[in-house]
Amino acid sequence: MTMLTLALIWNLLTPSPVLADELVLHLIPAPTRTDWRSPRKLAISAIRNEIIRYEGLKRHGIGHLYVELNCGGTRILTGATSTGNTEERQALFKEGYGLGVVFKNYQGKLDAPAEIEEDLRSTFSSGRSSFIRFLISPASCQRALAYWIEYQFRGYDRIYAGLNARPLKGESAGCTAFGMSFLEILGLQTPHFEEQWKTRLVVPRKFVGGPLTGKRVRIWKLLFAFSADWDTDLSEGGFGLDFWDPEKMDEWIRNSSDSLASENAPTLPWPASPSRIEASPGLEVDAREVPVPTGPFFETGLISNP
């Protein structure tokens, strides 16, 4: 019996209260803000967030996103993550990947529901997390549940993908891309979210090691690159980086929750209102009238050896 089968049996047999059909994205920023202003500042902030400790909380050195799906009496808590940080540390400190680490795939898994529950309880009480709750139709909820099942059936959960990966193209995903793929298959991903929640950069080729360039880039090269900046366009030979940024998402949710009653309220195609879980701010969006998309979730066939 596979872990997927066991997870489904557990979720379907575990008693839970009948809830409204909803999809909730829980955002947890890094302990200190990731600094994307330059390659050197990014390296310093990434190392700092790997070292810093928060008592009673998971560290989430690059931020994180959890998905909560409630379909009547079925509740799913999930999130994409790596199996540990050994691969990442080896790529950065031993294998000379440099900033190539952000494009690399690692061994992955889905977060365990019990661990998510414990982590969210901590972040709710401290206010460290934020959330956006979409009220959805029963048909949309069933589509999201079917997507979660097929994602695992295809083995994509066993890959923790680089920041550029697109899950619906069969590339697996990192944590935020995984969460945003639920919005995409439900027709809830908007141009406004693209504009406000994404970070787009061109990483200079000289800072990228690993298979993309065949070079070794030591971490010291980044730490001493005092005057280096991001490339301005792809014609300079760099690598485009385009990803859903959990810290931008968290900041937007917090600001939007505060400003909904003002003239600076965010422009959304559906009714929205501020919400809160203990000390954590959030938004509730009524998307129950959004038509349910049809057709396959993925643009590619099954992969044989993820």
pLDDT surpasses 90 at 69: yes
Domain assignment present for residue 187? The answer is yes
Domain assignment present for residue 232? The answer is yes
- Residue 54 confidence (pLDDT): 55
Closest CA to 272 of 190, 198, 204, 202: 190
Domain assignment present for residue 276? The answer is yes
- As a whole number of angstroms, the distance between CA 65 and CA 80 comes to 8
Domain assignment present for residue 10? The answer is yes
> Pairing between strand 280-286 and 272-277?
antiparallel
pLDDT surpasses 60 at 61: yes
The CA-based angle 247-154-58, given to 5 degrees, is 30
Buried (b) or exposed (e) across 126-141, using 16+ Cβ within 10 A?
eebbbbbbbbbbeebb
Domain assignment present for residue 258? The answer is yes
Closest CA to 302 of 193, 114, 151: 151
Domain assignment present for residue 39? The answer is yes
Report phi then psi at 204, rounded to 5: -60, 140
Domain assignment present for residue 206? The answer is yes
- Residue 273 confidence (pLDDT): 92
Domain assignment present for residue 59? The answer is yes
Flag whether the pTM goes above 0.75.
yes
For 151, the domain range is 3-286
> What is the domain count for the chain?
1
pLDDT surpasses 50 at 146: yes
